[in-house]
Amino acid sequence: MSTDVQAVTSAYIVKNSNKRYPGSYNGSRLKGWALMYYLVDTHGKAKDIEVIMAADTRGSEENADKYLTNLEFAPATKEGKTVEGG
């Protein structure tokens, strides 16, 4: 049984509630990153968040987790029904 590619959509960000930092902070050369695994539930919220790797910069893991939970997603769909997606 195959699924029609057009009948499937991925989850995508619809709202970012994270704070914007002033330009002086953005120019501070502080860098951080995180590679994360997560699922988007049928209500558009990230869940099962797992940090796989993160920068050595102080707080990178915690900040990445917080950033992700402040995003709202349109959930993935399959054949017109909302489903969890990674």
pLDDT value at residue 74: 96
End-to-end CA distance of the chain: 22
| 1 or 15, which is more confident | 15
Three-state SS for 45? Answer: coil
What is the number of alpha carbons within 13 Å of residue 15 lying toward its C-beta? Answer: 6
Res. 78: pLDDT tops 60:
yes
Burial class of residue 71 (count of CB atoms within 10 Å of its CB; 0-12, 13-18, 19+): middle
Summarize pLDDT for 41-76 with one digit per residue, the tens.
999 999 999 999 988 877 788 888 888 999 999 999
pLDDT value at residue 29: 60
Three-state SS for 16? Answer: strand
From the CB of residue 85, how many other CB atoms can be counted at a distance below 10 Å? 19
Res. 5: pLDDT tops 70:
no
